[in-house]
Amino acid sequence: MLRFDRRLVHHFDWVMLLMLLLVAGMALANLYSSTWSGGDTASPVFFKQMYLYIIGTAFILLLVCVDYRELESLGYLMYAGVILLLVYTNFFVHSIAGTQRWINLGFFHLQPSEPAKLVLVLVLASCYSRTEAPDGYRVRDLIKPGLLTAIPFVLILIQPDLGTALMLGILFVSMTVFVRLRWSTLAILGGAGLACAGIGWKFLLKDYQRRRIETFLNPEGDPMNHGYQIMQSKIAVGSGQMFGKGFMEGTQGHLHFLPERHTDFAFSVWAEEWGFSGALFFLGCYFFMLLWGINIAMTARDKFGVLLAFGLVMLIFWQAVINLFMIMGFLPVVGIPLPLFSYGGSSLLTTLFAVGILMNIRMRRFLTQK
């Protein structure tokens, strides 16, 4: 499995690594500020995230030594492992704040739904790369990838974790549309999606999930309860103005008006302290990294590499877009983190592995297919 080729050193993806380190530096600086409690040193949360960054980056250097094509054969084994972890989480893990999402490993709390997103991209890329449909995919061609998505979707939904479950659906739609559908298939899936949305609203969503959507539509209607997060986030983002209040000078975060300021609303802290110019710089770096990922997909040497790279970019892109729209009040609060920026070990390591695979695909674009 480990195949060292001297050409890999020459083709090492320094651009992706440099952009990753730049985003990581801004993320750690923001975490230091958002969790600082006035002492002489950083918070334990900061050090934990920093150590995870170091460990994850080291794994990237190991990951690029393994030809990404090996993942195609390992994908279904990894999928089975993730499903077992989700089943274990749902039935054998104690509930925390009404949810069952984390497995306590002693030194680390694993959230299986995070690697489930990465593994789903992997098995969908493998599935579509092995299926030829020159005239576009029919509905029956989507039965297998649909089932691969539905199983973890349901297991995550009953935790309950609506945001992550919806991410699996978004990944399935993104990758399925990318591989080209027949117009009749697209129409059928669109109608089915609308029907599922109506049924889900009526019978599947819990009361607090419906309130989140209603709060998104009218946050001022309940400003001291369910609309509080969105309103405080808007205040934080807007109060940064052009150049921000300065590093560690944000009032919404440090005076504890802004909830979840180091997780879901981490970017609100950044926008308040660095302003519009700082937010624009961060977003420029962040989305350049994603555009570089699209370039990796376009230059991959085989169909599996193209689909895998595209899916990994979509994994990061949609989470980022949903999180950013959420903190600005354009989407309801659904608990989606900003990859590489929000605090969270499982999310961080999953995203770092995704970046490592992208670098792997880029480095091997020059190799001939077997």
Mean pLDDT per 10-residue segment, the chain (370 residues) = 62 92 95 83 89 93 87 91 93 71 81 94 93 78 92 90 90 90 80 75 63 59 60 83 86 72 88 93 96 95 94 96 89 86 92 95 75
Cα–Cα dist 246/24, whole Å: 19
Q: Smallest Cα–Cα separation from 352: which of 79, 54, 68, 44? A: 54
* Structural contact between residues 255 and 290, judged by C-beta atoms closer than 8 angstroms: no
Q: Give the per-residue pLDDT at 267.
A: 92
At residue 333, the pLDDT reads 79
Give the pLDDT confidence score for residue 126 in this predicted structure.
Answer: 94
**Token pair in block for residue 243:** 């150049």
What pLDDT does residue 288 have? 96
Cβ proximity of 230 and 333 under 8 Å:
yes
Q: Which residues of 27-60 are buried (b: 16+ CB within 10 A; e: fewer)?
A: bbbbbbbbbeeeeeebbeebeebbebbeebbeeb
Residue 189 C-beta-side C-alpha neighbours within 13 Å: 21
Bridge partners of residue 96, in order along the sequence: 99
Query: What integer pLDDT is reported at residue 227 of this predicted model?
Result: 64
Give the type of residue at 70. Answer: E
Q: 2 in helix, strand or coil?
A: strand
307: nearest Cα among 72, 181, 125: 125
Angle between helices 44-63 and 14-35 (to 10 degrees): 170
Residue 57's pLDDT is: 92
Outline where the chain has alpha helix (H). Answer: 6-10, 14-35, 44-63, 70-92, 113-129, 143-157, 162-178, 183-199, 207-217, 228-239, 251-254, 266-299, 303-327, 345-363
